[in-house]
Amino acid sequence: MSRKRQDPVPVPNQKWVASVRDKLLAWYDENRRDLPWRKNKDPYRIWVSEIMLQQTRVDTVIPYYERFMDAFPTLKALAEAEEEQVIKAWEGLGYYSRARNLHTAVKEVAASYGGKVPSDPEAVSQLKGVGAYTAGAILSIAFDRRVPAVDGNVMRVFSRWFAMQDDVAKLSTRKKFEELALHVIPEGRAGDFNQALMELGALICTPTSPSCDTCPVREECRAREWGVQAELPVKKKAKPPVPLQVIFGWIRQGDKVLLQRRPNEGLLAGMWGLPTVEAGKGEVAPGEFLREELCRKGISIELGSVLGELEHVFSHRRWQVTLVEGKIKEQADGNLPEGWYWASEEEQEALAFPNVYRKAFAMVRERKNDSQGIQGRLF
């Protein structure tokens, strides 16, 4: 069997490079969006924006970014903040380890670099949560250093410019594009050029139905020349999320609700939520799994009614949730296990919950409104 040889990295000729640089930068100067992190070149502001933008759309990020910068205007302010506040500011954005890593790294910069973001690639790359792309983005945008910042946009644009069929899901492909980028990024305007590549990918060279007719570099694009732009980039399909039956408990004592902090590793690590168990096998009511688990924790409950069902899809899990009401048997003023907590409504508002739990809260609230004047309040 012969092993399939990888296509070599194309080496663009100088004429093509000069043309693409000029046209793309001219287009960017005219068409760049006025985004909040483009007000200046403060490395801290650039950094925060890049972390938030990881796997997240610009429109989603903007309001979070504004609030975050109001709360933590400087690197020092973020370094001195409590983690709980930082996570609260991230609530609803997802990928919460981004916020924890950012906080860790910012504290590291405060402690080891006098509060100034380092401008050398080795130091920046070592910061927690800063990988090859983000390091390149910070270094090029904030410090105008000629470093590649290859994200999904850039891979799509390059795939089309050179009509390359490499699988963009592979790490090796990204490295190939980084090498390619080094041939194209100009001296002097490295940051603008990297942003122009991404801006082109976001506005013109879009994943589906790219606007080739208005593309500033349509003459330089092999995919367009060959009419294969819709076929590129090549990307291996992701596995579908695995379905999982999950039970949430809505367990009240007086005006307080039982909360559980999730384990420090895995899905929604360290986040607050309702008591959560996986449903096991067997022909019993879903709530039984919850009752038994709580019993093991020394919390004795009587099952109430099913308050509702909801589905929440993560990247790799599909939670099919049954929300079950529970009534505490004896006054449980004794010791709760580590990470468990009776929270009043006021206390709940200070905690950060991922959206799957916020959906459940909303469900309870609706149900409460519906039943008011009919059965009174839920127990």
Partner DNA sequence: GACCCGTGGCC
Partner DNA sequence: TGGCCAAGGGT
Shortest spacing between CB 283 and DNA, in angstroms: 26
Query: Does the protein bind DNA through residue 152 (CB under 7 A)?
Result: yes
Which of 48, 69, 130, 279 binds DNA (CB under 7 A)? It is 130
Q: Which stretch binds DNA (CB under 7 A): 124-132, 215-223, 245-253, 338-346?
A: 124-132
128: helix, strand or coil: coil
Query: Does the protein bind DNA through residue 96 (CB under 7 A)?
Result: yes
Query: Does the protein bind DNA through residue 244 (CB under 7 A)?
Result: no
Site string for DNA, 167-196 (x = CB under 7 A): ---xxx----------------------x-
Stretch 31-90 residues interacting with DNA (CB under 7 A):
33, 35, 49-50, 53-60
Shortest spacing between CB 227 and DNA, in angstroms: 19
State both tokens at 204: 């013109």
Stretch 319-348 residues interacting with DNA (CB under 7 A):
none
Amino acid at 43: P
Which of 28, 89, 146, 151 binds DNA (CB under 7 A)? It is 151
Which of 148, 191, 201, 286 binds DNA (CB under 7 A)? It is 201
Query: Does the protein bind DNA through residue 207 (CB under 7 A)?
Result: yes
97: helix, strand or coil: helix
Shortest spacing between CB 121 and DNA, in angstroms: 13
Residue whose CB is less far from DNA, 138 or 299: 138
The residue assigned the tokens 């609803």 is 92
b/e per residue, 110-144, with b = 16+ CB within 10 A?
beeeeeebbeebebbbebebbebbbbbbbbbbbbb
Cα distance between residue 255 and residue 342, in whole Å: 9
State both tokens at 15: 């004429």
Site string for DNA, 211-240 (x = CB under 7 A): ------------------------x-xxxx
Q: Which stretch binds DNA (CB under 7 A): 67-75, 164-172, 178-186, 292-300?
A: 164-172
272 Cβ contact list (under 8 Å, min separation 6): 259, 260, 261, 262, 351, 352, 353, 357
Residue whose CB is less far from DNA, 246 or 301: 246
Cα distance between residue 262 and residue 272, in whole Å: 6
Cα distance between residue 324 and residue 143, in whole Å: 54
With 0-12 / 13-18 / 19 or more C-beta atoms within 10 angstroms meaning exposed / middle / buried, residue 34 is exposed
Cα distance between residue 33 and residue 140, in whole Å: 18
> Catalytic pick from 30, 50, 122, 325?
50
Query: Does the protein bind DNA through residue 312 (CB under 7 A)?
Result: yes
Q: Which stretch binds DNA (CB under 7 A): 65-73, 74-82, 166-174, 370-378?
A: 166-174
Handedness of CA 109, 114, 115, 120 (dihedral sign): negative
Q: Is 50 a catalytic residue?
A: yes
Strand partners, 373: none
Cα distance between residue 154 and residue 157, in whole Å: 5
The residue assigned the tokens 């949730």 is 321
Residues that bind DNA (CB under 7 A): 33, 35, 49-50, 53-60, 92-97, 101, 128-135, 137, 151-153, 156, 170-172, 195, 198-199, 201-202, 207-208, 235, 237-240, 266-269, 312-317, 354-356
Catalytic residue list: 50
